[in-house]
Structure 1
Amino acid sequence: MDALLEAVTAARAVWPAGRVEGTEGARLLAVNDALGTARRLLEAASTQIAAEIARQSRPELGADSLAKANGFRTATALLASTLGTSNGEASRLVQVGDATAPRLLLSGGEAPAKHPHVGAALAAGAIGALAASAIVSMLDRVALRATPDDLEAAERTLAGQAPGLTLDQLAKVIARAEAHLDPDGVPPREEELRGQRFLRMQEDRSGMLHLTGAFDPEHGAAIMVAIDAIVGAELGAQRDADASSDVDAPRRSVTMMRADALVKICEHLLGCDRRDTPLRGATVVVRMTLEDLQSGTGHATIDGLAAPVSIATARRMAADAGIIPVVLGGDSEILDWGRQRRLFTRAQKLALTERDGGCAMCGVPPGHTKVHHIRWWARDRGPTDLDNGILLCESCHHRIHDNGWDIRIDGTGIHARVWFIPPAHVDPQQTPRLGGRRRYDYLAA
């Protein structure tokens, strides 16, 4: 509670006088950071209170239950009503509180928290209740199929990686951690997902055709890569047109462009002389270790998708579509061009995709990125070599160049680490921020 009061005091200290509108950017960011810390600490306190309310509202207490004494059937109903939230959110608060606080024994003594590393991160304001719930839920799911040491190591790793990630980004890390802890659980989950795939087509009264669907990773990867490739090419052509013309052309949203891309794919298949020829999935990149491929155990990942797939699925995809090898740089491929050419080759981009995973700064899929020179081609006379290349989306590329960010690469090849160094006006200490694939992959202990 002292930490929460300190966080609130810190937020008040940087709060702008008068109206927030027009406040200097640096002060706004300082207030936002302070409020974020205070919010996470408040959530941590709420989980403890919620767990204790639930403990004092146990069904076996009957009429003496705290919830029933206050006119509520359950502790969840009491919490949802008083906090102004949903029953599901109230249940999550109780779940996290039970899992991260020391437990009372029947003897009156205390036992350690079930998940102390998550509890420590929560109490320090490093993560919020939703992040803690996601980690705890996964660990509980695999508790019977993983060793205590592996579970403890995974909890420590996830609690350390979670700060700074959005919930969507954390979900990717958790999915891969679960596959690491329970590789035998990946095939059954895949089979369940395959059985749930569907596509519904319905024409409404206006003539609009509505498509609603869900696809398992194996089948969804081809759809995502094909559509995103067309959209990426159109966005690039649109930027080139904007640069060469002063006339504002009509704009389509990305969702409209995806719809048009699906139409193009269908039109292409309808007009193809060989109707049985599938779209080749050469840009669907499936990753696995050589050991897992040979043994048939473990799991694989597909670029752009969070859910891991089984080795059996990876082999089936390879047989259907052909997969570009991860090992590049043989006699037939030149990966370093020096100053002989300005643009990076497709082979170089594939090699950098192994290291960066997509945009090295924000994590969008590889299809939405281009390879950029770290040391500029014209200004710094930087070479077109792998160690001087980085995958960036257009937005992050402009942010780095326009706002004074620096990039540092530690090591060489696909195992190198990418670091982004913020300018002094963003972070006076200029603390390096990890980028690339290592930021979003699960780093097994």
Structure 2
Amino acid sequence: MRAVWSGPDAASLSDSDLVAVNERYCRMQRMLDADRAQLAAEIARRSRPELGPGSLAKTQGFRNPTALIAATAGTSTGDAARLVKVGEATAPRQLLSGEKAPARHPHVAAALQEAGLTAQAAGAIIGILDRVALRAGHEAIEVAEKTLAEQAPGLSMDQLHRLLVHADAWLDPDGVAPREDEKRGLEQLIMREVDGMFEITGRLTPEHGAPVKVAIEALVSAEMRATRDDPRDGTADSDAPRRSVVQMHADALVRLCEHALGCSQTDLPLQGAAVIVRIDHDNLINGTGYATIDGITAPVSVATARRMAAAGEIISCVLDGTGQILDWGRTRRLFSRNQRLALLERDGGCAMCGVPPGHVKVHHIRWWARDAGPTDLANGVCLCESCHHRIHDNGWEIRIDGIGISAKVWFIPPPHVDPARTPRLGGRAKYDYAA
């Protein structure tokens, strides 16, 4: 018989009533889980292989009990097998003498009957306990089971997994190293192109995953702090969509790799490693056609090629109509550390929007590839990624008046922004107080 919602419309419930109703239904689900586990165990008992064609599952037209349970519940056979396992581990046992004995895992059984655990949580606990039972010993297993059954209620499955990982190490400390060795053999990083995107998936051991996680999260945290603490009115980037956390993770990974490629003091064997962007010279000048990147199948737009050509970490390969190389970089394509410090002193961060120095790169005003721009102070400007894209995509121009760190940076808007194209002061001078 189908259960029917008989209360008021969910949208009309107060916050406290909504939470209370949700908790009541979740408790009912846990109670059903406990009953279903016992029913699954009994179905499995009546479908034992030794019963042959007379087993319950076969008389109902199924190959085995998990197939029967999965079809009835609309779940996978794996879920049905786990439900059977929970039921068998928490149901009272019948001895050969015919007498009843306690369940194999009485503490988990009690938590199930009290609606403190879901079948999924109970199965996870039972799986850990059974796997290390021989090595840990009966007493340690009983202590761990009691502790887990008491701590698990109220935890999400993600939180329970963290608890089980520590319980596993406590029960079987000698197994930690062998499990690490096994996991090292499962490490992998897969890079492939899918639908015009570059897809990266991988698995790392804790030893190798920790520095990756810490580095990426540090960059994301700094970005979020800068956004939160920015004293400006927030209009500078109002036309740029807000990046989600997972998108910021991707940005951080890109920044780390760009830094490694551009760092002259790294001990990594990256000499000669560079991103090569290929585009016809006329297309680069006129904004027509498309570009390609060495090692990547999918073409990129001219706008993307221009941004990449203007970035210090990219070498562009500009070809004429016959495919001959016109410009393959110069002796020095990256601004030096001292040049960067001088430009940061002049610009104070992003010369256009003012974000802190930690979020900017030094870019060529006259582009490295298209304009054969030199790598000197008069041709450098500090820009964040958002302003860099805005300038190149929307037709802004940059002018430097003066020499060295006392020079002033001016941003000249395109006609559609300001028909008069009145220069706008940028850099540190924009915020200096002139008495």
**Do these two structures clear the TM 0.5 threshold for a shared fold by scoring above it?**
yes
* Aligned counterparts, 1:16-415, within 5 A: 16-17=7-8, 19-204=9-194, 206=196, 208-241=197-230, 244-245=233-234, 248=238, 249-276=240-267
2:135 partner SS: coil
Displacement of 1:277 after TM fit? 6.5
Displacement of 1:72 after TM fit? 0.6
CA distance, structure 2, for counterparts of residue 107 and residue 90 of structure 1:
30
1:219 partner SS: helix
Aligned residues of 1:16 and 1:27 also touching (Cα < 8 A): no
CA distance, structure 2, for counterparts of residue 231 and residue 70 of structure 1:
56
Residue 233 of structure 1 aligns with an amino acid whose one-letter code is: A
Displacement of 1:101 after TM fit? 1.1
Distance 1:171 1:205, change over 3 A: closer
Displacement of 1:242 after TM fit? 8.3
Displacement of 1:106 after TM fit? 2.3
1:145 partner SS: helix
Structure 2 unaligned blocks of 5 or more: 270-435
CA RMSD of aligned residues (A): 2.0
Displacement of 1:243 after TM fit? 7.6
**TM-score, normalised via structure 2 length:** 0.59
Aligned residues of 1:16 and 1:23 also touching (Cα < 8 A): no
Aligned residues of 1:179 and 1:186 also touching (Cα < 8 A): yes
Give the number of the structure whose residues are more often strand, by fraction: 2
Residue 256 of structure 1 aligns with an amino acid whose one-letter code is: Q
Displacement of 1:22 after TM fit? 2.8
CA distance, structure 1, for counterparts of residue 67 and residue 74 of structure 2:
10
- Of the two, which has the highest radius of gyration? 2
Displacement of 1:107 after TM fit? 2.1
- Render the CA deviation track for 1:229-286: whole Å, top value 9, x for unaligned: 10111111122248843674521111111111011111111111222179xxxxxxxx
Residue 131 of structure 2 aligns with an amino acid whose one-letter code is: R
2:12 partner SS: coil
CA distance, structure 1, for counterparts of residue 96 and residue 44 of structure 2:
17
CA distance, structure 2, for counterparts of residue 204 and residue 158 of structure 1:
43
- Render the CA deviation track for 1:212-232: whole Å, top value 9, x for unaligned: 211011000011010011011
- Render the CA deviation track for 1:25-74: whole Å, top value 9, x for unaligned: 11111101111110000000000000000000000000110000111110
1:106 partner SS: coil
Structure 1 unaligned blocks of 5 or more: 1-7, 279-445
CA distance, structure 1, for counterparts of residue 233 and residue 78 of structure 2:
52
Residue 107 of structure 2 aligns with an amino acid whose one-letter code is: H
More deviation, 195-204/150-159: 195-204
2:158 partner SS: helix
Distance 1:243 1:20, change over 3 A: farther
- Render the CA deviation track for 1:164-196: whole Å, top value 9, x for unaligned: 110010001001101001011111110111111
